[in-house]
Chains A and B, each alone.
Chain A
Amino acid sequence: MHEASIALSLIGVATETLHEHGGERVTALTVRIGQWSAVVPEALQAAFPAAAQGTPLQGARLSIVPVPGVGACPTHGPVELQLALGLRCPVCDLPTPTLLQGDELELDELELE
């Protein structure tokens, strides 16, 4: 359960961006969380309000966009991966060693005032 730590880091990055843009508070933010990132969206959603208390993000609306894993199959090209199969093409079971997407832990967008 490191979502509380992730929430604090998220608030740090968001606050930095807020100050760069001369805003006073963040009213909404969107993050992209990859399925292979080891962060559980529900747990992050639950940890966020308490972590945001007393910061310019207090009361901000957090939207989490889950990003599915995509691997490069030698035969089928980019394929959407299934967690239960690991890094294997769901069609032919060949290894797809490189994760093309799905490890994101990214602050995508902020709404500032």
Chain B
Amino acid sequence: MTTAPRIVTVRQNILKDNDRVAADNRRTFQDAGVRAINLVSSPGAGKTALLERTLQDLQGQIGMAVAVGDLATENDAARLRQWGAQAEQIVTGTICHLDASMVQAVLPRFELAALDVLFLENVGNLVCPASYDLGEAARAVLISTTEGEDKPLKYPTMFNTADVVVITKMDIAEAVEFDSALCRENIDRARPGVQVIELSSKKGSGLDAWYSFVRGLPLP
């Protein structure tokens, strides 16, 4: 038995355990026929407001539920429950993102077979959630008109993982002098070719495109 140091080549993904659990989740969703959508954005971009509107508008048309992550409080889940859908809070404590295990742990609380769509509302944060696959079918990255058009280039990893980018709060775009063309150019730099939806959860504009995405249909 030697105690001399040995060099071992590993070449393994540091997050391989998360990716393995995410693959399990993905299989669970597929088997149950549920489309899981991971929503990410900075705090206050309007994830919960968009979900409230969605639950309200699509109620009775498709089966929906939400698992929502936050560092503390049950407030978001309570907001979402008032629209009649099941909403389960995942309190992450000091952790700034959802990971695949946290999602897996909450899944037994849902009757997945009765659902068409499960929203995974991530912790408000444009950095950390980027690295963690949850097993979702699609990832929606939200950016609001109040945030600054260069955000996609400041957080390139997050935008680079988007299946769709949603620009929220379009009803106040003019008041905050939001430059849509510039924002779209920066989004396209971060994720060439990605589809962009401009909407207002409050006034209802642009929601048809969002609902197509939610249902997994091609965007109009």
Contact = CB atoms under 8 A, between A and B. Distances in A.
A92 interface: no
B130 A38 contact: yes
> What band does the interface of chain B fall in when counting residues whose beta carbon is under 8 Å from A?
35 or more
Given A86-B190, A97-B193, A110-B7, A13 B131 contact: no
**Helix, strand, loop or mixed for chain A's interface?**
mixed
A87 B189 contact: yes
A16 to B, nearest CB: 9
Contacts of B9: 108-109
Contacts of A37: 131, 157
A86 B14 contact: no
B14 A31 contact: yes
A96 B192 CA distance: 7
A12 B12 contact: no
Nearest to A40: B127
A2 B15 contact: no
A112 interface: yes
A111 B7 CA distance: 4
B95 A113 contact: no
A86 B153 contact: yes
Nearest to A98: B192
Interface string A75-108: 0000000011111100000011101000101111
A38 B72 CA distance: 24
B156 interface: yes
B220 interface: no
A59 to B, nearest CB: 13
Contact of B10 (A2, A13, A27, A105): A13
Contacts of B16: 13
Contact of A109 (B8, B18, B158, B192): B8
Contact of A86 (B97, B128, B131, B152): B152
Contacts of B157: 36-38, 103
B193 A86 contact: no
Nearest to A39: B131
Looking at A2, A9, A31, A108, the one whose CB has the most chain B CB atoms below 10 A away is: A2
B7 A108 contact: no
B190 to A, nearest CB: 5
Nearest to A8: B14
Contacts of A2: 95-97, 127-128, 131
A89 B188 CA distance: 13
Of all A-B residue pairs in the complex, the 4 with the closest CB atoms, nearest first, are A86-B189, A2-B128, A95-B192, A38-B157
5 contacts: A1-B96, A86-B186, A87-B192, A95-B188, A105-B14
Given A12-B17, A23-B6, A88-B189, 14 more contacts: A2-B127, A6-B15, A6-B131, A9-B15, A17-B10, A27-B5, A36-B160, A37-B157, A85-B189, A95-B188, A105-B131, A106-B13, A109-B8, A111-B5
